[in-house]
């Protein structure tokens, strides 16, 4: 765990130094992921990681418990004073490499009201590494997630980790839910940031600011700074 925590703190410090607005802690190294509830040792380990990151960087911290344990994410946010959680499948259902994952917005919203009412829910629309059921289009999923799932922000991604998000998909979600807060969930690079952010309010970035642009290799401070400069320049 010492190695894990040192790496998490180093990454958070690098992102803060580059000018990022927030950081998110997730169990990305836990592949293959549990489809729903994760074991208690995962929650315990993530609690240490979230607390360590909050101490290392003076930024809002989010939590994503992969693949889809929103209850654990809320518990971590409440205990560790995180600002938001990400939920991969919040409403409806998606066919994934873990099988069929079904959203539990009804339980997540009620649990949040009881446990962590100030924590925001960032919910994916047609989450990456997944296929929607036949007939559930992107616009319908966006409307359901925003109006019926009561998410605080929608996340729109490409097909997989690091894969570019289609500008057309962002436009479709924006047209379907004009007042929604929308985040780009994958594929944001210094070269394409302005194009992708034209119809979004922000982005969740990982792969493009890591060493050699490879996921899971640690933050490259130069890449992180270049992305922030491209977005704000």
For the chain, give every domain's residue range: 2-232
106 and 119 in contact (C-beta within 8 Å)?
Answer: no
Residue 195 region by backbone torsions, left for phi larger than 0, else alpha for psi between -120 and 50, else beta: alpha
Two tokens, residue 145: 């997630």
On the question of pLDDT at 32 being above 90, the answer is yes
R_g of the chain computed on alpha carbons: 17
Residue with tokens 């989450």: 127
User: What pLDDT digit, counting tens, does each position of 176-208 carry?
Assistant: 999 999 999 999 999 989 999 999 999 999 999
Question: What pLDDT score was predicted for residue 75?
Answer: 98
Classify 101 as helix, strand or coil. Answer: strand
Cα–Cα distances in angstroms (integers) from residue 54 to residues 63, 75, 137, 168, in the given order: 12, 16, 38, 36
**pLDDT cut 70: percent of the chain above it:** 100
Question: What pLDDT score was predicted for residue 162?
Answer: 87
80 pLDDT band, cuts 50/70/90, is very high
User: What pLDDT digit, counting tens, does each position of 39-77 carry?
Assistant: 999 999 999 999 999 999 999 999 999 999 999 999 999
The C-alpha atoms of residue 57 and residue 64 are separated, in whole angstroms, by 18
Question: What pLDDT score was predicted for residue 221?
Answer: 97
On the question of pLDDT at 106 being above 80, the answer is yes
User: What pLDDT digit, counting tens, does each position of 207-227 carry?
Assistant: 999 999 999 999 999 999 999
The C-alpha atoms of residue 185 and residue 203 are separated, in whole angstroms, by 6
pTM of the full structure? 0.96
Residue 145 is given by DSSP the state I
The C-alpha atoms of residue 209 and residue 91 are separated, in whole angstroms, by 30
User: What pLDDT digit, counting tens, does each position of 121-153 carry?
Assistant: 999 999 999 999 999 999 999 999 999 999 999
Q: CA triplet 179, 198, 119: central angle to 5 degrees?
A: 45
140 and 149 in contact (C-beta within 8 Å)?
Answer: no
Please identify, in words, the CATH class of the domain defined by 2-232. Answer: alpha beta
The C-alpha atoms of residue 68 and residue 16 are separated, in whole angstroms, by 27
92 pLDDT band, cuts 50/70/90, is very high
17 pLDDT band, cuts 50/70/90, is very high
On the question of pLDDT at 233 being above 90, the answer is no
């Amino acid at each position: 765990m010492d190695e894990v925590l040192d790496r998490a703190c180093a990454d958070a410090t690098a992102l803060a130094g580059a000018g990022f607005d927030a950081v998110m802690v997730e169990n990305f190294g836990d592949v293959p992921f549990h489809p729903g509830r994760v074991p208690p040792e995962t929650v315990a380990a993530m609690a240490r990681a979230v607390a360590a990151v909050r101490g290392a960087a003076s930024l809002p911290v989010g939590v994503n418990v992969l693949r889809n344990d929103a209850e654990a994410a809320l518990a971590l946010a409440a205990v560790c004073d995180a600002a938001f959680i990400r939920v991969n499948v919040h409403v409806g259902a998606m066919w994934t490499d873990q099988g069929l994952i079904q959203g539990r917005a009804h339980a997540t919203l009620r649990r949040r009201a009881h446990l962590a009412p100030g924590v925001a829910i960032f919910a994916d629309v047609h989450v990456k590494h997944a296929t929607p059921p036949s007939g559930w289009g992107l616009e319908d999923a966006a409307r359901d997630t925003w109006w019926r799932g009561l998410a605080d922000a929608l996340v729109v991604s490409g097909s997989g980790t690091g894969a570019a998000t289609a500008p057309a998909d962002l436009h479709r979600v924006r047209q379907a839910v004009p007042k929604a807060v929308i985040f780009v969930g994958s594929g944001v690079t210094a070269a394409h940031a302005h194009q992708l952010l034209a119809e979004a309010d922000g982005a969740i970035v990982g792969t493009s600011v890591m060493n050699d642009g490879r996921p899971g290799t640690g933050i490259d401070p130069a890449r992180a700074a270049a992305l922030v400069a491209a977005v704000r320049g």
